[in-house]
């Protein structure tokens, strides 16, 4: 950082309605730059959060905010907030200043992934308890690898077609295929409920499921069925899809495309074993 270098005047906090207008323009700027809806929501929230603590966007306040984030949040969250600030400064026309992200130490193992056995157990218990919405939520993620932000956008029409086209930043499109057996089961479920509403997954209020609602309910099911809450979350089932795909001989380049990764290097993490798998190998092999 360069604390002695002033930022341009637009970085001062807009007051009241002006802040809301500024954030509305920032949101439009992100949309125009093909950011995903989830990223847009996170970035706008991050800027709101910054201005609840500081009156102006200056090198000093950003330095203080970065320290605050490091004290209160995980590194991945800190870096997301930093990306939001950098994007906001670019939107403001501040081109000569950038906040540096934290360097993340890469693990040599993949952690917090639900095991195949626990996935099968959870799936069975959800079906037995008549929790069909969440039964098909975890099946769809585990069978396709979609992100939860993409899952909530699925429509009944997508299940009928057997695929969904998903557009990401840069207007890139990838096609998510629903396996035939899963498609058949989903359509039978929809028919049994005589449902033709547009969103595929509905809350108990009859509205489209929210990301936070899915996360919270999965934690409830983890406790109810005595599973580790750390591995019962939406992205864990995406990890399970990728691990299963690799273990069944799937091509890593094709997997990268299916997951919507920008780089195949991101996908290579699934070539690693989980920490539990590593410990199991050591316990089986080392007898000296």
State pLDDT tens for residues 185-222.
Answer: 999 999 999 887 789 999 988 899 999 999 999 999 99
Whether residue 29 is found in the same domain as residue 120 = no
pLDDT (average), residues 172-185: 92
Tokens 């709101």 belong to 48
Percent pLDDT > 90 in the chain is 47
Q: How many angstroms separate the CA atoms of 63 and 97, rounded? A: 12
The predicted-structure confidence for 78-131, as pLDDT tens digits, reads as follows 889 999 999 999 998 887 778 888 876 555 446 678 999 999 999 999 999 999
What mean pLDDT is predicted for residues 223-252?
Answer: 89
Q: Is the dihedral of CA 125, 127, 128, 129 positive or negative?
A: positive
Whether residue 179 is found in the same domain as residue 258: yes
The answer to whether residues 40 and 173 belong to one domain is no
pLDDT number for residue 38: 86
Mean pLDDT check: name the lowest of 23-27, 31-35, 165-169, 270-274: 270-274
Do residue 156 and residue 257 come from a single domain?
Answer: yes
Q: Tell me the mean pLDDT in the region 126-148.
A: 96
Q: What is the pLDDT of residue 281?
A: 56
Q: Residue 176 and residue 183: Cα distance in Å, rounded?
A: 12
> Could you give the percent of the chain with pLDDT greater than 70?
84
Q: Any bridge partners for residue 174, and if so which?
A: 166
CATH number at residue 244: 1.10.443.10
| Model pTM above 0.75 | no
**Does residue 179 surpass a pLDDT of 60?**
yes
CB 142 within 8 A of CB 154: no
Nearest Cα residue to 120 out of 229, 227, 256: 227
What is the C-alpha to C-alpha distance for residues 270 and 105, in angstroms, rounded to an integer? 17
Kindly state whether residue 60 falls inside one of the protein's structural domains: yes
Do 153 and 58 lie in one domain? The reply is no
Residue 109, in any domain of the structure: no
Same-domain status, 153 and 79: no
Q: Output helix, strand, coil percentages for the chain, rounded to the nearest 5.
A: 60, 5, 30
- Domain range for 160 is 116-285
Which of 38, 58, 91 is the last residue in one of the domains? 91
Question: Between 5 and 122, where is the model more confident?
Answer: 122
Question: At 33, is the secondary structure helix, strand, or coil?
Answer: coil
Work out how many domains the chain is built from and give that number.
Answer: 2
Q: What is the pLDDT of residue 286?
A: 61
**Phi, psi at 239, each rounded to 5°:** -60, -40
Residue-level pLDDT at 197: 78
* pLDDT bucket at 2, cuts 50 / 70 / 90: very low
Of residues 286 and 217, more confidently modeled: 217
Structure tokens at 172: 């890139």
Alpha-carbon separation of residue 254 from 61, 161, 174, 258, 267 (angstroms): 44, 22, 11, 6, 10
Does 79 share its domain with 141? no
* Cβ atoms of residues 114 and 236 within 8 Å: yes
Q: Which of 13-22, 34-43, 107-116, 268-277 has the highest mean pLDDT?
A: 34-43
CB 240 within 8 A of CB 116: yes
Q: How many CA atoms lie within 13 A of 101 on its CB side?
A: 16
Q: For 21-41, what is the mean pLDDT?
A: 90
d(CA 21, CA 25): 6
User: Does residue 1 lie in a domain region?
Assistant: no
Q: Is 281 exposed, middle or buried (0-12, 13-18, 19+ CB in 10 A)?
A: exposed
Q: Which tokens is 115 given?
A: 């095991």
Residues 126 and 70 grouped into a single domain? no
């Amino acid at each position: 950082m360069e604390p002695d270098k002033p930022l341009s005047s637009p970085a001062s906090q807009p007051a009241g309605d002006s802040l809301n207008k500024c954030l509305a323009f920032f949101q439009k700027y992100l949309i125009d730059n093909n950011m995903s809806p989830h990223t847009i929501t996170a970035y706008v929230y991050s800027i709101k959060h910054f201005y609840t603590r500081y009156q102006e966007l200056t090198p000093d306040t950003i330095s203080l905010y970065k320290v605050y984030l490091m004290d209160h949040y995980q590194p991945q969250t800190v870096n997301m907030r930093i990306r939001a600030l950098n994007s906001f400064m670019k939107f403001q026309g501040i081109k000569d200043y950038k906040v540096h992200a934290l360097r993340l130490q890469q693990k040599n193992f993949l952690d917090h992934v639900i095991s195949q056995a626990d996935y099968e157990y959870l799936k069975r218990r959800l079906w037995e308890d008549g929790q069909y919405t969440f039964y098909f939520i975890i099946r769809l993620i585990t069978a396709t690898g979609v992100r939860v932000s993409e899952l909530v956008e699925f429509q009944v029409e997508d299940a009928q077609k057997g695929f969904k086209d998903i557009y990401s930043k840069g207007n890139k499109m990838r096609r998510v295929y629903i396996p035939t057996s899963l498609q058949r089961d989903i359509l039978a479920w929809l028919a049994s409920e005589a449902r033709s509403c547009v969103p595929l997954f509905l809350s108990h209020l009859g509205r489209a499921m929210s990301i936070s609602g899915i996360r919270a309910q999965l934690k409830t099911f983890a406790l109810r069925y005595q599973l580790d809450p750390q591995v019962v979350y939406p992205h864990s089932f995406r990890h399970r899809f990728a691990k299963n795909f690799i273990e069944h001989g799937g091509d890593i380049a094709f997997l990268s495309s299916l997951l919507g990764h920008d780089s195949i290097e991101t996908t290579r993490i699934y070539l690693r074993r989980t920490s539990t798998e590593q410990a199991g190998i050591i316990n089986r092999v080392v007898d000296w």
